[in-house]
Amino acid sequence: MDLLLLSNSRNHGQSFLAHALEEIDGFLGDARRLAFVPYALRDHDGYTAIIAEALAPLGIEVVGVHTGADPRAAVADAPAVFVGGGNTFRLLRALRTTGVFEVVRHRVTAGDLRYLGSSAGTNLTAPTLRTTNDMPIVEPPSFEAFGFVPFQINPHYLDPAPDSTHMGETREQRLTEFLEENDVPVLGIREGGWLRVCGETATLGGANGARLFTRAAEPRELAPGADVSQLLATRPRYDSPA
Amino acid sequence: MDLLLLSNSRNHGQSFLAHALEEIDGFLGDARRLAFVPYALRDHDGYTAIIAEALAPLGIEVVGVHTGADPRAAVADAPAVFVGGGNTFRLLRALRTTGVFEVVRHRVTAGDLRYLGSSAGTNLTAPTLRTTNDMPIVEPPSFEAFGFVPFQINPHYLDPAPDSTHMGETREQRLTEFLEENDVPVLGIREGGWLRVCGETATLGGANGARLFTRAAEPRELAPGADVSQLLATRPRYDSPA
């Protein structure tokens, strides 16, 4: 399997994908055609145009999977897929409704399809969407996701704001509640960072690092460049109350 | 129907329910016994003790529904129920598993049970949990909620932070995405505020007001004391793409 999982599509003050362009270039290698899945946003054409423009400097052709008669076909013969960010619930529902989900899962697992994900697209590479930050604006058939990695990812990971007076849960509190119900590590990747998975190797890249949450242990800081391959040996246990 | 729906259980710098104690006192009237539903948090005993302590000054007896052999029984003969905040997905799943959901729905709809909700407990009075802020840490059988009101509520409503560099969606962006998929008004109640529903009348109470989001219109500010009874005539349309 060959995965590049971005925390976010866009850094503050930069254009789409600018912070990760070099990494994307290396990841795609000789695959210069990309099937783009725009389902996490409402405007599929507009979203595809933004991504095409962002990747044009690399000479990469971007094809929105929504443009053909059968969206499965666009994914079935592409060397690489990019599943973009937006709302994770909307994304998962559309992937299921169109049948694109099964094609992507099968080909990525078989090592036939490079998978580039960002935000919601990164969320879905975990076994479930249970650590998304998104609002459940629509109801997917289930919370089951691709499961390319055996742990959970929390993209856009955000440290607590020390002077906040808002009483909603911090991200860390939310992930602690997740761990009360599930014995599954969560990798919180800060904006600017990404996870690169290549076969048995998983490495943290980009800027700002990540925070690893596991049950019954203090959260652990991970610096950019950290080898996190041992996470690929995780045996996740969902619905396993502490 | 008789509902008091708090945005939050606790204001910054105050103890539990302190900001709403007078309103709760008037709402409960001669009902001095309260069945408390602690399922949104993991520690049911601890949570019930906190609420009992908070309401002790009013002379209200608080009984955790988890303490008896059958949690449905505690709700079946109480004059009032309080569904507390925490994680909305965990709350809804437990309400369904225990069967408390059906008893509460039936008795509140029949006008036999006063319903006090806070945060997650307020969320569930809408037809669905689609506008919760919470992380989907567990999977309930469906997103269907009580539907005591025919519109959505977003508790802990938070205005955008003008100087934020974080690229995750603001609350307003999330609710705009909800309205792309659903033609259902959303009442975003800021912390410190609440909604009081009594029969055909709905009034905004507490501090800080609310923001009303409807499809194809600018969001509208509502001041404390605003009469929002017209929202009770809403005909919600879910999964109705714009």
In a domain, B217, yes or no: no
Q: What ipTM does this complex have?
A: 0.96
pLDDT for the residue B194 = 98
Give chain A's length.
Answer: 242
In a domain, B12, yes or no: yes
In a domain, A238, yes or no: no
Q: Which of B44, B177, B178, B208 has the most A C-beta neighbours within 10 Å, making it the best mutation to test the interface with A? A: B177
Q: What is the pLDDT averaged over residues A180-191?
A: 98
**Among the listed residues A28, A194, A30, A36, the one whose alpha carbon sits nearest the alpha carbon of residue A114:** A28
pLDDT for the residue B178 = 98
pLDDT for the residue A215 = 96
Establish if B125 touches chain A: CB-CB under 8 angstroms: no
A157-180 burial string, b = 16+ CB within 10 Å, else e?
bbeeeeeeeebbbebbebbbbbbb
* Chain A residues lying within 8 Å of B127, measured CB to CB: none
Pick from A167, A174, A177: CB nearest B10 = A167
Instruction: State which residues form the domain around B33.
Output: 2-153+190-207
In a domain, B176, yes or no: no
* Chain A residues lying within 8 Å of B165, measured CB to CB: 12-13
- The domain tally of chain B equals 1
Alpha-helical segments (H) within chain A: 21-28, 44-55, 71-76, 88-98, 100-109, 120-123, 171-181
User: Is a pLDDT exceeding 90 seen at residue A216?
Assistant: no
Average pLDDT, chain A: 96
Torsion of CA A154, A175, B158, B20, to 10 degrees: 170
Annotated catalytic residue: which of A106, A119, A142, A166? A119
pLDDT for the residue A166 = 86
Q: Which residue's structure tokens are 């290698």?
A: A29
Average pLDDT, chain B: 96
Domain of B85, CATH number, reads 3.40.50.880
Radius of gyration of chain B measured on its C-alpha atoms: 17
Q: How confident is the model at residue A84 (pLDDT cuts 50, 70, 90)?
A: very high
Rounded to 5 degrees, what are φ and ψ at A106? Answer: -65, -50
Q: Cα–Cα distance between A230 and A212 in angstroms, integer?
A: 12
Q: What is the pLDDT averaged over residues A172-178?
A: 96
pLDDT for the residue B142 = 98
In a domain, B132, yes or no: yes
pLDDT for the residue A59 = 96
Q: Cα–Cα distance between B228 and B211 in angstroms, integer?
A: 12
User: Is a pLDDT exceeding 90 seen at residue A167?
Assistant: no
Torsion of CA B74, B75, B76, B78, to 10 degrees: 90
Q: Which of A92, A152, A167, A186 has the most B C-beta neighbours within 10 Å, making it the best mutation to test the interface with B? A: A167
Alpha-helical segments (H) within B56-115: 71-76, 88-98, 100-109
Beta strands in B122-209 (DSSP E): 152-157, 186-190, 193-198, 201-206
In a domain, B216, yes or no: no
In a domain, B183, yes or no: no
